[in-house]
Amino acid sequence: MKGSLIVVLFFALGCVLGWGLNLFEITIEGDLTRYVLYLLMLQVGISIGCDKKLGDIIRNIRPTLLLVPLATIIGTLSFSALVSLVITQWSVFDCLAVGSGFAYYSLSSILITELKEASLGVQLAAELGTIALMTNIMREIITLLFAPLMVKYFGRLAPICAGGATTIDTTLPIITKYSGQDLVFVAILHGILVDLSVPLLVSFFCTL
């Protein structure tokens, strides 16, 4: 929760700084967002590769465990497609790209802004990237706040599916507390697989 609020504050600070640079007609040369994206992709690989439990996870993977991240991906994309029927400003593929962030707000927002600029223009691409940022931050915050209710009404796997890519890091402690220690392995495996799907799915839907 605290980490997500800090991210929101930094985002707001970035908006203020960007507005200030624009006000004084100061421009930043070079494709900054592209290099930030590259750094984020490097961070994903490093964080997964450095996980001490990665070896145990790979050795203990069973086919049935893959159903949890699969359910998360299918459920999220299905709901994202339905949302496009209500929010007519954005196409179904735009909504699917936003949903494909799976709470990985930093990567998905930059990726969407970068990839949609050619087809939507700078302003609309930035708007869609901002929507992706806020939507995926809200997903993480909802998981952190309502994990106990999710377990009570929808079962112990509910917070894992709701947490998306964050079940490998920020939402893992809350999942461990309310879903139980025996589901920690499931949550970590789920987080790794969903994490890896983010750049693939977001890039795919952004090109459609």
Model confidence, pTM: 0.76
Cβ-based neighbours of 147, under 8 Å, separated by 6 or more: 159, 162, 171, 174, 175, 177, 178, 179
The model's pLDDT over 52-103, given as tens digits with 9 standing for 90+, comes to 666 666 666 677 888 999 999 999 999 999 999 998 889 999 999 999 999 9
- 30 — pLDDT class (breaks 50, 70, 90): very low
- For the segment 185-204, the average pLDDT, to the nearest whole number, is 91
Q: Is the dihedral of CA 45, 53, 174, 155 positive or negative?
A: positive
Buried b (16+ CB within 10 A) or exposed e, 42-53: eebeeeeeebee
Round the average pLDDT of the chain to a whole number and report it.
Answer: 82
Residue 189 is predicted with a pLDDT of 87
Does residue 207 carry a pLDDT above 70? Answer: yes
The model's pLDDT over 173-182, given as tens digits with 9 standing for 90+, comes to 888 889 988 7
Through-space distance between the first and last CA atoms of the chain, rounded to whole angstroms: 34
- For the segment 106-119, the average pLDDT, to the nearest whole number, is 89
CA distance 198 to 164: 10
